[in-house]
Chain A
């Protein structure tokens, strides 16, 4: 099954990529071809006058005079093939190859000191001959943290073969046309044994944990002056892939915007994305809580204003402005440990949101995820990447 998929995948690639792909049989075939070419070249040199240049009397003395026809042929062949000038001219391409490899390795090492000279030489030899490549197991967070053995996959790219967790996702960047390809279990059935071809490099590696966003301490104030504590809201980034695409084995092309967002999730930039989602969620809840938790009485005045400006950043109000009291003065009195960082006065809980009303919960999840996806698209210009709410743990209303 896997072999079929692999061969299908290989067929889709241009001939140059197939030759340079980290494919064991192709690599061995190319090695055999190189050896054959070298032999042909050696024979050619041996048949020319070059072979006779360096045949000195001392060299001839090593070979006794022939006594019959067969020994004469052997003597002649040996003389020509092992003449110092033949060997010198035959070795020239090899010397050139190894010299270029050395110089290129040095050049690459100057660029990426983290990779190291020997690692670079190994990479170049693999790229030249496609020697059988060992599997590189990639654990969670291996690529997000500096890891010496994997640096070359990010900087230099393939050929390489590795194994990674099916719950993770990988973005590959093609060097020639700057395309971004997404590899994930949601559209590719077998990602346990992944081949990174020549000309492709790893742009980002995103584990499932990277795609999770936990929004904590979400406390907002509604139009009645009530504070609503949302406890914990869990979000998950997912790849919105159509059924047809998910059935094919070829990697999914994604836009540069999707690539940027995903790469941020796997790096230090994730805090920016998390903060953006937190601010958007707070804003949405602040605007809509009054309506959602008491639909009949609170007029959606602010919502109407927003309706005219769908792409404009939403508003947020966290303070009870009517009291004109410094914020911490309020918080510091009778604030429980749990609400130490809250911006609101901790008040007596009079009601816990009746989560028997599943419809309301579903409505909140639906509307919030629609809002977040709209804002993600508006600010980050995403298309394939979407977000869904996987859990709203507990809602507590304080008065």
Chain B
């Protein structure tokens, strides 16, 4: 991580910061580690005199200026131009999250829940992945999801992708740390794909012990969620999944996202008919 300034403007900024630091009570540089500010995000948003950001190797920041122009600030010690503010921060390391109910939860219980808040949280988790089969039986999968901002293509591509992601969330009025939002977006796309695949399936097919249907659904989910627009679609699964592209947008445009989905568990509602 280069921490000494580059060029004349860098040295000028550093000198200015040093001189001002003598008279200031508050510090003028802020750290961003694993996509998180060391201070409250809104504090930094509202602070017009933010001088410099020290960004660790697993983070990146999108800055926006007065006229709405964005720039990607990659790891290192970076000075902030006049009128700029931090719009989005990214953790560009490896990520893992669970999507759906917890493994040990009893979803289709008959007894009245004792803890209402826990019950509410559980219902929210169930809603994340709830699907229905062709014969209208509720199926709730839970997933273990890994993703990574692959750095194999290069910094330029990474920068472009981060700007794309930032644009998407800006339109949706989401600002600040984006890790949880990206998790949510990936999770929702996984659910959409599963819903589509399960609505053509009967519960009998799912529960047949010799059937590998759920395995196939998972393979298709992994294939479709990793389809990139303009990428190779020669694979049979990819061809089948092309018509689902509208469901996975904007992930299809984010070339460097490398996603892997595992099925953690599956709950099937008891057939009461």
Contacts and interface: CB of A to CB of B under 8 A. Distances in A.
B267 A326 contact: yes
B54 A324 contact: no
B249 interface: no
Contacts of A306: 215, 219
B209 A313 contact: no
A316 B106 contact: no
Nearest to B213: A321
Interface string A360-382: 00000000000000000001110
A330 B262 CA distance: 23
Interface string B83-97: 000000000011110
A103 B150 contact: no
Nearest to B260: A313
Contact of B212 (A256, A279, A283, A302): A302
Nearest to A328: B106
Interface string A310-323: 00111111111111
A312 B219 contact: yes
A329 interface: yes
B14 interface: yes
B207 A313 contact: no
A312 B216 CA distance: 11
A391 B72 CA distance: 46
Contacts of A87: none
A205 to B, nearest CB: 15
Contacts of B270: 324-326
A316 B263 contact: yes
Interface string B205-238: 0111110101110110011001000000001110
A42 interface: no
Contacts of B212: 301-302, 305, 315
B208 A322 contact: yes
Interface stretch (A133-141, A268-276, A351-359): A268-276
Contact of A321 (B214, B223, B264): B214
Contacts, number: 156
Interface string B230-273: 00000111000000000000000000001011111111111100
Max chain B Cβ within 10 angstroms of own Cβ: one of A223, A321, A329: A321
A244 B38 CA distance: 46
B65 interface: no
Interface in A172-204: 175
A350 to B, nearest CB: 19
Given A260-B93, A279-B144, A309 B104 contact: no
Interface in A107-153: 107-108, 110-113
Contacts of A329: 106, 109
Contact of B151 (A257, A315, A319): A257
Nearest to A340: B104
A225 interface: yes
B262 A343 contact: no
Given A273-B94, A302-B212, A283 B54 contact: no
Contact of B218 (A108, A112, A316): A316
B108 interface: yes
Given A103-B18, A380-B148, A317 B96 contact: no
B144 A327 contact: no
- Counting contact residues on chain B (CB < 8 A from A), the size range is 35 or more
Contacts of B210: 223, 301
B46 interface: no
Given A264-B94, A326-B107, A326-B108, A315 B218 contact: yes
Given A110-B27, A110-B28, A327-B106, A313 B262 contact: yes
A301 B258 CA distance: 27
A111 B80 CA distance: 14
- Counting contact residues on chain A (CB < 8 A from B), the size range is 35 or more
B104 A110 contact: no
A320 B209 CA distance: 7
Given A316-B262, A325-B270, A381-B150, A110 B29 contact: yes
A328 B109 CA distance: 9
Interface string A255-295: 01100100010000101110110011011000100000000
A341 interface: yes
Contacts of A212: none
A341 B29 contact: no
Given A111-B3, A279-B262, A343-B104, A309 B152 contact: no
A301 to B, nearest CB: 6
B265 A379 contact: no
Interface in A77-114: 103, 106-108, 110-113
B267 A327 contact: yes
Contacts of B2: 175
A309 B223 contact: yes
A315 B263 contact: yes
A280 B207 CA distance: 23
B64 interface: no
A341 B150 CA distance: 34
A27 B268 CA distance: 72
A315 B237 CA distance: 15
A79 B88 CA distance: 67
A38 B155 CA distance: 46
A327 B29 contact: no
Contacts of B28: 110
Contacts of A343: 103-104, 265
Question: Which 8 pairs across A and B sit closest by C-beta, in order of nearness?
Answer: A315-B215, A328-B106, A321-B207, A315-B218, A302-B212, A313-B222, A313-B260, A279-B262
Interface of A: 103, 106-108, 110-113, 155, 175, 223, 225, 256-257, 260, 264, 269, 271-273, 275-276, 279-280, 282-283, 287, 301-302, 305-306, 308-309, 312-329, 331, 341, 343, 379-381
9 contacts: A106-B21, A272-B96, A279-B264, A309-B235, A314-B218, A314-B262, A320-B209, A321-B268, A326-B270
